[in-house]
Amino acid sequence: MDKMRKRDYTLGMKVVTLILFIYATSLILPLLWGFVTSFKSFIDYMENPLSLPSPWMFSNYKTAYNYFFITISHTGSSQYVYIERMFLNSMIYSVGSAFVSTLVTCLVAYVTARFDYKLSKVVYWIVVVTMILPIVGSMASEKMIVNSLGLYDSFLGVFILKANFLGVYYLVFYASFKEIPREYEEAASIDGANNFQILFKIMLPVVKNVFATILLIKFIGFWNDYQTPLVYLPSKPTLSVGLFSYSSSAINEIASTPMKLAGALMIFLPIFVLYIIFQKYLIRGVSFGGIKE
């Protein structure tokens, strides 16, 4: 019986491994194809779409860099916003929104998980219900409120919009704080620590890996966000908004598929580098119970 179970387990693992390999290949191959194609000329791409470039057109990226701009209408006049400014706008928007959103979610989860108030349970179920019931058509009212508060077209207004605790990451923080033994708080209280000292000196260091992981995931999501900067930051376009304008441009120099791929890969590179540097936060587990990594 044990041998049969072992054989079935081994067979199952092989099937799962094969499925994951096929899935990973389906993700990697298009990326490799896009990278290779971005170095082709238009004629080379049309004649040999699946072959290696002949010759390698490294100048594609220089051309894409020079034409990566967007025209905006601000204060009654038109002006160009180039890739350097869009990169700065993307960093401010992504870092600020990710940090504010993660911090607010973490703090709300801590209060509701560690303090047994009736309101804590209400907040918990509000998060669960809002995840089940879709909220549609709220953008118009949000924009009206932002306009009336004088926060439209400002990073501060966007940060306030993102400072909410709804979503699955609240449940992740909630579960993380629930698993921390009560003895930590009791020992700190005996030593004279108040609630703020317990939070910042004990609780947050224990969940720092969870915080860093969620912060990184949110940063990637905001970096790729197109809708929010387009609607709420018309004079501060980000790289995602610029990429849409670049990919739909009718300028002959960048109208070909290789040139469009070159522009897209320029935007992809910062996220790829970020993943390489911080990948350990995405793949390693989080330890509790007094043993920290």
- The tens digit of pLDDT for each residue in 4-24 reads 555 556 777 888 888 989 998
Q: Are 203 and 180 in contact (CB under 8 A)?
A: yes
Structure tokens at 281: 């936060």
CATH of 67-283, one of 3.40.50.300, 1.10.3720.10, 3.40.50.720, 1.10.1060.10: 1.10.3720.10
Q: What pLDDT shows up at residue 275?
A: 79
- HSE (side-chain half, CA atoms, 13 Å) at 37: 22
Q: How far apart are CA 223 and CA 270, in angstroms?
A: 10
- The tens digit of pLDDT for each residue in 67-84 reads 888 888 766 677 888 889
| Bridge partners of residue 210, in order along the sequence | none
- The tens digit of pLDDT for each residue in 135-174 reads 666 777 788 888 888 888 889 989 998 888 888 899 989 8
The SS3 of residue 76 is: coil
Question: What percent of the chain clears pLDDT 90, i.e. is strictly above it?
Answer: 11
What is the pLDDT confidence band of residue 27, given thresholds at 50, 70 and 90?
confident
Kindly compute the dihedral angle of the four CA atoms of residues 172, 174, 180, 182, in this order, to the nearest 10 degrees: -170
Q: Is the pLDDT score of 200 beyond 90? A: no
pTM of the predicted structure, to 2 decimals: 0.81
Q: How far apart are CA 36 and CA 56, in angstroms?
A: 9
Q: How far apart are CA 39 and CA 42, in angstroms?
A: 10
Three-class SS string for 104-135? Answer: HHHHHHHHHHHCCCHHHHHHHHHHHHHHHCCC
Q: How far apart are CA 1 and CA 127, in angstroms?
A: 46
Which residue in this structure is represented by tokens 């009560």? 182
Phi, psi of 234 (to 5 degrees): -65, -30
Kindly compute the dihedral angle of the four CA atoms of residues 238, 244, 246, 252, in this order, to the nearest 10 degrees: -170
Kindly compute the dihedral angle of the four CA atoms of residues 78, 79, 82, 85, in this order, to the nearest 10 degrees: -110
Q: Is the pLDDT score of 293 beyond 50? A: no
Residue 60 buriedness (CB in 10 A; 0-12 / 13-18 / 19+): buried
Q: Are 177 and 113 in contact (CB under 8 A)?
A: yes
- Using N-to-C axis directions, what is the helix angle for 239-247 and 83-114, rounded to 10°? 130
Q: Are 94 and 222 in contact (CB under 8 A)?
A: yes
Phi, psi of 70 (to 5 degrees): -140, 145
Q: How far apart are CA 138 and CA 176, in angstroms?
A: 31
